[in-house]
Chains A and B, each alone.
Chain A
Amino acid sequence: MIQINLYKTLRGGNDTFTLCIEEKIKPYSFTAIFGKSGVGKSTLLRILAGLEFPDKGNIKVNDDIWWNDSRKEFKAVKERNIGFVTQQSVLFPNMTVKQQLTFSKGKNTDFKLLDEVVNLMEIENLMDVFPNTLSGGQRQRVAIARAIIQKPTLLLLDEPFTALDYEMRQQLINLTKKVAKQYKMTTFLISHHPIEIEQLATEVWIMKNGNIVDKGIPTKILKAYK
């Protein structure tokens, strides 16, 4: 179970608003976050990853405290085991695809899982290639594969399909769906596309000015937004 109670003052244009999230998330669920730009979606994921701090609150993941301001407890980013994929897939320019995939765990990489994910993502022919020769879709597949091979506690996807064309997007959505189900990962996805969310998520949160204003099963909740 993941318990999130966090508050952070954010600036949106000329105004300030408070990101205020109080939620409990079931393990292995796939939660989509839907809302306009600048409502605090990415900040929420960055706080979960430990890349930003809330002003107050607490985050508890499977009885493990990741953040508690009153007890001054903080779990370091590198100890959280987060798989994070953003719109601009961040691949290290000096490493081949294989080196990117084994960077996290080195010799302790689960090579059986690596082979499975590589096949699933259809990147087996790219293993010795450097990122500067990859297309946008290939880069994103490598970034998602790298995140999964870590066996992350949380998989955070911040608009990972936005920069891709329709065909590539569909292909990656299907792959992500398969992977999330197969490897039982608790996943958060930020997306502006209702259809994408319906295909992937078990629950959707509608965010407005830092608050969750509506939530539930995507097909029901997103009717109004199509």
Chain B
Amino acid sequence: MATMFLNNLDWRPLILTLELATCTTVGLLIIGLPLAYALAFSKNKYKVLIEAIIAMPLILPPTVLGFYLLLIFNTNSGIGIWLNKYFGVQLAFSFTGIVLGSIIYSLPFMVQPIQNALQNIPKAYLETSKLLGKSKFETLKKVLLPNIKTSIITAIVLTFAHTIGEFGVVLMIGGSIPNKTKVASIAIYEKVESLDYEGAHQYALVLILLSFIILLSVYVYNRSSVNWSLNFNKK
């Protein structure tokens, strides 16, 4: 019955959605880890400004972010012309553009859990590692990261899941170009616009199922993994 229900489904928007979520998550992991580390341990009084900027997508309508990214990166803007001329890159209405938009929009979902976890690591661990002759990088690799593994996995999954549901930013900067920028959420919107409710249901149910499986796996993982820092405090 499920096969019949999904019989006429065009899978390309769903595949593109997964590609977008994967690229965004990998990109954010590379950017988010050092950023979270810097924010967690920086004593600079201006770091609150960076924290506020990173958190803005949490409250800002996605269309606002998408609108300004479109203005900045369209082919007639200074930056858009420069990127196209020297790097051959066009960000507006391209897959690269929606990845960039998603990275900015999902930044707090990656940075905040990791930053909070790093800040909650007892200071004594850092001091002990230093006393045992370890550099900051060695401490990060061998003490900090293994002890915040659960938070990193949570951040990865939340970023991935959040990107799957993105609509406003992607629509504004990418439009709806099949195989390029038309992700599942936009496909649903278009199906509803054309009163094709069955088609909208197909995409919606796949997304609901996917989101549920992702979140369920996070909760199962969090329950089964050992919370090291709690163990430290117990003793």
Contact surface of A with B, Cβ cutoff 8 Å: 49, 51, 77-79, 81-84, 86, 88-90, 92-94, 103-105, 131-132, 134, 136, 139, 146, 150
Contact of B132 among A86, A94, A150 (CB under 8 A): A150
The reply to whether B142 and A103 contact each other, CB–CB distance below 8 Å, is yes
Contact B228 A78 (CB under 8 A): no
CB–CB B133/A81 < 8 A = yes
Judge whether A93 and B135 touch: CB under 8 Å. Answer: no
A90 adjacent to B125 (CB under 8 Å): yes
Judge if B131 is at the interface, Cβ distance under 8 Å: yes
Decide if B128 touches A84 in the complex (CB within 8 Å): yes
Hey, which chain B residues are within 8 Å of A90, CB to CB?
Answer: 122, 124-125, 127-128
Which A-B residue pairs are the 3 nearest by beta carbons?
A93-B228, A132-B231, A94-B146
Instruction: Evaluate whether A78 and B124 lie within 8 angstroms (CB atoms) in the complex, with A92-B143, A94-B228, A131-B231 already known.
Output: no
Choose from A84, A92, A136 the contact partner of B131 (Cβ within 8 Å): A84
Given contacts A77-B130, A82-B131, contact A131 B124 (CB under 8 A): no
Inter-subunit contact B143/A78 (CB<8 Å): no
In the assembled complex, the CB of B204 is this many whole angstroms from the nearest CB of chain A, namely 41
- A78 near B134: Cβ-Cβ < 8 Å: yes
- Per-position binary interface string of chain B over residues 102-141, scored 1 when its CB falls under 8 Å from any chain A CB and 0 otherwise: 0000000000000000000010110111111111000000
Contacts A131-B235, A136-B235 given; does A92 touch B125 at CB 8 Å: yes
The interface residues of chain A lying within 8 Å CB-to-CB of B127 are 51, 77, 84, 90
Q: Are B125 and A77 in contact (CB under 8 A)?
A: no
17 examples of A-B residue contacts, CB within 8 angstroms: A77-B130, A78-B130, A78-B135, A79-B133, A84-B131, A86-B124, A88-B124, A90-B124, A93-B226, A93-B232, A94-B146, A94-B228, A103-B142, A104-B132, A104-B134, A132-B235, A150-B132
Taken together as a complex, chains A and B put the C-alpha atoms of A82 and B146 apart, in Å, by: 24
CB of B229 within 8 Å of the partner chain: yes
Q: What is the CB-to-nearest-CB distance from B210 to chain A, in angstroms, rounded to a whole number?
A: 32
* B96 CB–A CB distance under 8 Å: no
Taking a contact as CB atoms under 8 Å apart, the answer to whether A92 and B231 are in contact is: no
B147 at the interface (CB under 8 A from A): yes
The complex places the Cα of A94 from the Cα of B232 at a distance, in Å, of 10
- Which residue of the partner chain, among A94, A131, A136, A139, contacts B143 with CB atoms under 8 Å? A94
Q: Least Cβ distance of B141 to chain A in Å?
A: 11
Q: With the chains together, A146 CA to B135 CA distance in Å? A: 18
Interface size bracket, B side: 20 to 34
Cα-based distance from A88 to B142 in the complex (angstroms): 21
A11 to B195, CA, bound (A): 73
Cα A103 to Cα B128 with chains together (Å): 11
Q: In the bound complex, do residue B130 and residue A93 qualify as a contact, i.e. CB atoms below 8 Å apart?
A: no
- Residue among A82, A86, A93 with the highest chain B CB neighbour number at 10 A: A93
Return chain B residues, CB-CB under 8 Å to A84: 127-128, 131
Q: Flag if B147 contacts A94 (CB, 8 Å).
A: yes
Q: How far is the CA of A188 from the CA of B116 in the complex (A)?
A: 36
Residues on A with beta carbons closer than 8 Å to the beta carbon of B135: 78
Instruction: Report the separation of the CA atoms of residues A49 and B135 in the bound assembly, to the nearest whole angstrom.
Output: 16
- Which of B133, B147, B235 is within 8 Å of A92, CB to CB? B147
B232 with A77: CB separation less than 8 A: no
Output the nearest chain A residue to B139 by Cβ-Cβ distance: A78
In the complex, what's the smallest C-beta–C-beta distance from B194 to chain A, in angstroms?
A: 54
* Given contact pairs A88-B124, A90-B128, A132 touches B226 in the complex (Cβ within 8 A): yes
**Contact of A49 with B228 in the complex, beta carbons under 8 Å:** no
Name the residue on A nearest B228 (C-beta). Answer: A93
Taken together as a complex, chains A and B put the C-alpha atoms of A93 and B233 apart, in Å, by: 11
B131 touches A77 (CB 8 A): yes
Contact of A78 (CB < 8 Å), options: B125, B133, B146, B229:
B133
- Assess whether A103 is in contact with B228, with CB atoms less than 8 Å apart: no
How many Å lie between the Cα of A160 and that of B125 in the bound state? Answer: 17
In the bound complex, what is the Cα–Cα distance between A89 and B229 (angstroms)? 14
Cβ–Cβ < 8 Å partners of A86 in chain B: 124
A92–B138 alpha-carbon span in the complex (Å)? 14
Question: How far, in Å, is B120 (CB) from chain A's closest CB?
Answer: 13
CB neighbours (8 Å) of B226 from chain A are: 93, 132
Max chain A CB contacts within 10 Å: which of B122, B146, B235? B235
B229 (CB) vs chain A CBs: closest residue: A93
A136→B131 CA distance, assembly (Å): 22
